[in-house]
Amino acid sequence: MMDPEGLKTLEHVDMTVRELLTEMKDTSEIIVDLAYASLMYNSENMAAKVHELEEEIKNLKYAIRYKALLSSRTKEDARQLSGLLQVASAADRIADAADDIVDLMELPLEKRPFVSAMLYESGEKIRATKVKPDSGMVGYTIGELAPEACTGCKIIAIKSRQGWVYDPEDDVKVRSNDDIIVRGTEDGFNCLLKYADGLQPWEFPEEQVEIRDETDDEAESLEERDNE
């Protein structure tokens, strides 16, 4: 029998399996981008975030195993949950690899100048830019802008006067002179650059808002808008 006290060593057991898997999938994607970006920009700070996320995904993995085992009642449950747990393990494995990539930073910088030059040439681009004061993005949250849907570029990190925020949540506001690090295609980055430079007003994804109307996420961002 499991000691109920033992639960204290397991984090995140209050989350649902769906929430846990969503979190693991998102983390597994962002952590790889951040790992490469750490090397490209030689950022110790970003590398620390990668280590933190790797720890986090481990905790999520144990929590999802715990929840899945508890919820399995039938043979069909067990069959389907075995697939789900395999996906969770894969997400964890990706995070492990990202963590190893960041470990390359322990080598002195002069031994790896070519790494950042090489990564710069990658097909999947990681780029940094500054949001100009007259950009149409200023004052809006990432959730409102939905940059990935509009430009194909995902904002993986943002630096304001308060410091860096990695993998910014939807409620993070873009402010004048923020530095942003994005990931996407060259084409997408050029498109985003026009918006960030203020050369073109932001085109909001109106249809997207209607479609996501019923989700909790949307309800939250609507509330926020009411408050403003």
Partner 1 sequence: MNDLETMLLELKDTSEFMVDLAYSSLLYNNTEIAEEVIFLSKTLDDLSARIQDTAVELGMSDPKEVERVVILTRLQWSILSIAEAATSIADVVLRGLGAHPVIALSIKESETTIAIGKVSADSVLAGKAFGHIRLSTISGMFVIALKRDRAYIFGPGRDTVIREGDVMIAKGPEEGVQYFKNLCDGSDKEI
- Minimum CB distance to partner 1 smaller for 25 or for 175: 25
- Residue placing its CB nearer to partner 1 in the complex, 10 or 149: 149
Q: Kindly state the smallest distance separating residue 177's Cβ from partner 1, in Å.
A: 26
- Report the nearest approach of partner 1 to the CB of residue 124 (Å): 5
Q: CA 48, 51, 56, 59 torsion: positive or negative?
A: negative
Cα distances (Å, whole numbers) of residue 37 to 22, 106, 124, 166, 184: 23, 15, 12, 11, 12
Smallest distance, Å, CB 127 to partner 1?
Answer: 12
Nearest residue (CB) to partner 1, 62 versus 176: 62
Rounded to 5 degrees, what are φ and ψ at 122?
-60, 150
Q: Cβ(91)–Cβ(24) under 8 Å? A: yes
Q: How far apart are CA 93 and CA 222, in angstroms?
A: 36
Strand partners, 173: 141
Closest CB to partner 1 among residues 100, 220: 100
Binding-site ranges for partner 1 (CB under 8 A): 17-18, 21-22, 25-26, 28-29, 32, 36, 79-84, 86-87, 89-91, 93-94, 96-98, 100-101, 104, 107, 111-112, 114-115, 117-119, 121-125, 146, 148-152, 184-188, 191, 205, 207-208, 211, 217
In angstroms, rounded to a whole number, what is the distance separating the alpha carbons of residues 53 and 48? 9
How far is the C-alpha of 89 from the C-alpha of 98, rounded, in Å?
14
Sequence letter at residue 24: M
| Residue 60 burial (CB count, 10 A) | 25
* Smallest separation, CB 99 to partner 1 (Å): 9
* Burial track 189-211 (b if 16+ CB lie within 10 A, e otherwise): bebbbebbebeeebeebeeeeee
By beta-carbon proximity to partner 1, the closer residue of 170 and 176 is 170
> Which CB sits closer to partner 1, 66 or 176?
66
At closest approach, how far in Å is the CB of 63 from partner 1? 14
How far apart are CB 8 and partner 1 at their closest, in Å? 26
Say how many CA atoms lie within 13 Å of 152 toward its Cβ. Answer: 10
Give least dist CB 83 to partner 1, A: 3
Of 11 and 148, nearer to partner 1 (C-beta) is 148
